[in-house]
A and B are shown apart, each in its own frame.
Chain A
C-alpha cells in the first residue's frame, strides 16, 4: 500500500513537471514568434521609407532635367541606381547578414548617386529657385531622416529579439524551432546623423 502511494505521488510530480515544461515551451515559443513578428514589422517600415525615397526620384529627375539637361551622367546614375535598389528583394523571414548587406549596398549606391546629383544641381540657380524643386528637396531631406529613424528602430527591435533567443533557456526553444539571429544595420558614418544634404 505504502509503495503504491509513493508511486502515485512520483507519477503526479513527474506529470506536473512535464506539464509545466510543455507550458513553458509553448509560452516561450509564442514570445519568440511575437518578437520575430516585431522584427518583420520593423523591416517593413524600413522598406517603406526606402520606397518612399525611390518614389520621389522620378519627379526629382524630371524636374532637374528641365533645367540641367546636359548633366546626363549624374541623372542616369541616379536612375540606374534606383532601378538596382528596387530590384533587391529581401525575405523578411530571413534577415541574415548577407541579404542585409546586399540591400545596404544597393541603397548606399543610390544615396551616393543622389548626393552627386545634388552637388551638380548647385550650379543651376534657376533650378534652386524652382518651387517644385524646393518642395522635393524638403521631402527628400525628411525621407533621409525617416530612413535613419527606421533603421535605428529596426536595430532596437532586432536586438531585443536576438538577446531573447540567445539567452538560456529560451535558446533551447529557439534552436529547436529554427529561429535564427537577425542581422543589424551597420551604423555607417553619417547614418546616425541625417546626411547633411546641401542644396
Chain B
C-alpha cells in the first residue's frame, strides 16, 4: 500500500493495510494499492503492470498478485483507476469482472469523493473472488440470489473485519519497532526508471513491511475513468 496521492486518512490507510496484510498471510495472495498523482509518462494500465512485475507482487510460481493504481481526478484531468491481475489471478477475476468492479464498486464511490469506500468495496470483492467463496461469474449478475447472497457477502465481510482489529495492533507494534530501530525504509521505483522518484513515494507507505514474492503480470485486468 503506497498512498503518494494522499487519498486516504491515516486511519483508513491503516485499516486497508491491515486488511491486505491479513489476507496476504491467510492466502498468500497479495493486493498492492498504489495512489499517485504522477504516472511518470506511462499509461495507467502499463504503469500498473510494470509496477506489479517490477515489485513481484504475488508469490513466485502462483503469480497471485493484484495491483490497483489510482490517479485522482483534478480540475483539468479525469480520474483514472486500473486493476491489474497477475497470471494466476486471471482465471479467478477475468477482465470483464475487473471492469464490473471498477464500474459498480469504485467509480460510484469515487464520484462521491469517498475514495476509501470505493477501495474497501473493491478489495472485499477481490478477496472474496480469490478466496473462492463464489465464482467470478456470479459477481455482478446477482445469480447467487438476493437474500442468501447478501448474507454470504456480509458473513465474509464480517469475518474479514473481525481480523482487522487484531492486525491493527500487530502492525502498530511493527511500526513502533521499525521506527525505533531503523532510520528509513526502502525506496520504490518502477523498473529502472531512475532514482529521483524514490523519496516522494516513500513518505506515505502504509507502514507495512511485507515482502513480495516474485509474481508475474501479463496485462490482464481493466481500467476505468470518471
Contact = CB atoms under 8 A, between A and B. Distances in A.
Interface of A: 45, 49, 134-136, 138-139, 141-143, 145-150, 192-194
Contacts of B49: 145, 149
A146 B84 CA distance: 11
A111 to B, nearest CB: 16
Interface in B167-226: 217-223
B92 to A, nearest CB: 14
Nearest to A149: B219
Contact of B46 (A49, A139, A148): A148
Given A193-B43, A194-B43, A194-B45, A142 B217 contact: no
A193 B130 CA distance: 28
Interface stretch (B14-22, B30-38, B93-101, B145-153): B93-101
A93 B95 CA distance: 32
B98 A142 contact: yes
B46 A142 contact: no
Chain B interface, DSSP helix/strand/loop, else mixed:
mixed
Interface centre among A142, A147, A192 (most CB of B within 10 A): A142
B39 to A, nearest CB: 11
A135 B45 CA distance: 18
Given A148-B46, A194-B45, A138 B220 contact: no
B45 A138 contact: no
A141 B82 CA distance: 12
Given A193-B43, A194-B45, A145 B219 contact: yes
Interface string B44-79: 011001000000000000000000000000000000
Interface string B107-145: 000000000000000000000000000000000000000
B95 A142 contact: yes
